Amino acid sequence: MIGKETFHKISVVFLYLFFVLSPFSISLCQIFAGASLFFLFLDFTFQKKIPHWEPDFIFWILLYLSFLITPVLLFEDTDWKRTILKSEFGDVWMGFLLLHHSRLTKLEKKRLKRAVEIGALFLIGSGLLSLLSPYRLAPFVMDGFQYLEGKRLPHQLANFLGISLYLPIGFQSTHLTYGGLLALYLPSLMEKTFRILKMVRRLSRYRIQISFLLSFSFLGLVLLFLNQSRSIWFGLLFGLFLLTLQKKVSIKKYLPWLVFSIVGIVLLFFILYQNNWLFQRAIDDLFAKRSLENQRIWIHKMNFAILKDSFLLGIGSGNYPGAFILQAIPLVRDLPELYYDLSITPKSHAHFDFLHFWILGGILGGSSFLIFIFLKTKSILQVSNQAFFYIGFFAILFAGSFQCYLLDDEVLLPFLGILCLLPKSKRKREEREEGTTKKNRILVYSLLLFWILFSSMGALYLTNTPAKDLFVHRVRTETNFPDKLGQSSLNATSGVVVPVGTREMYFKISGCLDHEINFDNTAKIRTTPIQLKIHWEKNPLGELPDTLVLETRKRESFDQDKEYRVQAERIVKTETFLNPRKLELVQVNPKEHLGSGIEFIDFGFRFFWKGERPVLPIIEISGNCN
């Protein structure tokens, strides 16, 4: 016989499994979340109750409904199957997880918090496995615990005591998703660690437990650091800063520890920056005008171009890729070299949560998102003694100004699920007695709004960068690491001095595609030759190379992130040049050495010196190799 609470209890069980197993698989995450909602609605039906629609739930659903305004206005031209099921609106069902908030009891929420803690342990465990694994865990497991040739391998971080360490991403497909999950799950473990630390002096039986929690909390922080999700790093610091505003903190009391921590972090950053190329690239990308891995300036150019035309009602769910391409076509027409970068860019989102919601839903979408943030922030600040558990909420909001974390199902589902564990709203009288003061709450709200508007203005400012500066020919070593000296020789104003006594140097320069192509036409073989110039003229800084062995190389042009495998390269021609002491033009006919598809024509340079003061010649190459 089905009891009064049977369906509710089953729903809670599935919610428990959802929190525990989400770190392993997005499919499990969706299945258990969906099953939990199914039994939640069965419970409401069985008890003949109407779900309690809290304001935050209403505005979250309103956010998604705003995505349908333009499709409804263009009703006859809309592909409704795609719009409802295969676009951003298709994630609307996840918002119904918020209905659990008012249905769960205090005891059930406490038990579900334990599930989050267990999930955090699993997340850290999978991160440690990926740190030591030479293969990406998800495809490795899916392929029957074997590596299939051509599958993309993880980035190697370093070699420590003879052990290779790799970028930790757990079972996730990207380091950003893993970083987002750490931001949501790790605070639960740390919050429990802090809570038990207060009791450990009085009760010795907690010492083993605290040692275990401290160890895993520390490992979680190490993984977060090695994961290199910079937006999450700063997001957690931002959240911590917001939470400190609700308490009176004695700066004098914590100043020595604060100074010690800052000095230690700066020293660690310096050591890693000097000795690890991947970490060095992660920091350099924050300040580089021409970032090789983090170039989103032209994305924001198109974001604001779309907003300019559709800021009031938005473009509608599922229409961002099409709008992106419409803005990209004239850009590629003027600068053909941008086609490849734009073609491999994920065109499903705007790389900015707030902007994406505004682009899709117009003023209604943007305002609904801001009101939702306000309501949830208010709820978190009302439980000041438990607020650290929910610090991931602020981290994701902050990081969402650099990536669309709330469009990633693997992050969005736990994000909404954890918000369900907030205590029920306090009465006004209790609010005055507990939690933050009204003044402090207003300050937190203001800072959140300021960050969103400030980061939006920052994105707008980036669009002032000239289009011609949005492309760079990448220079790599023979083992495909970035080559600073080789990079600095491209279009330089003078020769580049290399270390004294260098006799030989090799690097590869990424060239251009052997086809002409745009988003609105089919590819055709390029008619103009791909060319570059080598300045062999006498250089006062030192001695230019005596000999150059020049390789003409072909490289595949598929999206490596999408295919999870690396682009194959081959040498199709080798030539030897003696220093002619004058400008030399190198040309390659795109019709020669054609492969099965569109390929890059790259160049490999191997220079030889006899003198003691070697200098690299200037290598002149235009964006489209004209």
Give the Cα separation of 570 and 607 in Å (integer). 20
Among 253, 245, 118, smallest CA distance to 192 is for 118
pLDDT at 626: 87
Contacting residues for 408 by C-beta, under 8 A, at least 6 apart: 176, 177, 180
181, 24 contact by CB (below 8 A): no
Tell me the one-letter amino acid at 163. Answer: I
Domain ranges of the chain: 1-50+117-237, 53-103+290-383+431-470, 252-288, 475-621
pLDDT at 289: 45
Q: Which residues of the chain have pLDDT under 50?
A: 1, 250-252, 287-294, 429, 431-435
pLDDT at 251: 47
Strands 163-166 and 475-476: unpaired
pLDDT at 262: 64
Give the Cα separation of 567 and 599 in Å (integer). 10
Helix (H) / strand (E) containing 522: strand 521-525
pLDDT at 434: 47
For the chain, the first-to-last Cα distance in angstroms comes to: 79
Sign of the dihedral through C-alpha 73, 78, 81, 86: negative
Give the C-alpha distances (Å, rounded to integers) separating 573 from 189, 382, 595, 608.
58, 69, 14, 19
Give the Cα separation of 449 and 437 in Å (integer). 19
For residue 136 the two structure tokens come to 């990406």
pLDDT at 420: 94
For residue 252 the two structure tokens come to 């004098």
Give the Cα separation of 424 and 98 in Å (integer). 12
| Cα-trace Rg, the chain | 28
Tokens 């801001």 sit on residue: 370
pLDDT at 480: 85
pLDDT at 482: 87
585, 494 contact by CB (below 8 A): no
pLDDT at 121: 95
475-621: what fold?
Jelly Rolls (2.60.120)
pLDDT at 291: 47
519, 591 contact by CB (below 8 A): no
Give the C-alpha distances (Å, rounded to integers) separating 564 from 68, 135, 138, 169, 172.
34, 11, 11, 14, 13
Give the C-alpha distances (Å, rounded to integers) separating 196 from 78, 115, 118, 471.
56, 17, 16, 53
Give the Cα separation of 104 and 12 in Å (integer). 8
Burial 531-563 (b: 16+ CB within 10 A, else e): bbbbbbeebeebbbbeebebbbbbbbbbeeeee
Q: Tens of pLDDT along 490-533?
A: 999 888 889 888 899 999 999 999 999 999 999 999 999 999 99
Give the C-alpha distances (Å, rounded to integers) separating 477 from 484, 510, 550, 609.
9, 11, 14, 18
Give the Cα separation of 32 and 100 in Å (integer). 14
Contacts 24+ apart (CB under 8 A), 324-330: 325/519, 325/520, 327/301, 327/302, 328/302, 328/519, 329/518, 329/519, 329/520
pLDDT at 208: 76
Give the Cα separation of 328 and 343 in Å (integer). 9
Among 10, 91, 39, smallest CA distance to 415 is for 91
pLDDT at 2: 67
370, 172 contact by CB (below 8 A): no
Tell me the one-letter amino acid at 188. Answer: S
Give the Cα separation of 439 and 444 in Å (integer). 9
pLDDT at 365: 95
Give the Cα separation of 601 and 473 in Å (integer). 12
For residue 626 the two structure tokens come to 């004209």
Neighbour order of strands in the sheet with 583-588 = 583-588, 530-535, 618-620
pTM: 0.83
Three-state DSSP class for 97? Answer: helix
Angle at which helix 230-244 crosses helix 207-227, to 10 degrees, equals 130
Query: What are the backbone dihedrals phi and psi of residue 522, each rounded to the nearest 5 degrees, phi first?
Result: -85, 155
- Alpha carbon 124 to its chain centroid, in Å, reads 19
Sign of the dihedral through C-alpha 390, 396, 399, 400: negative
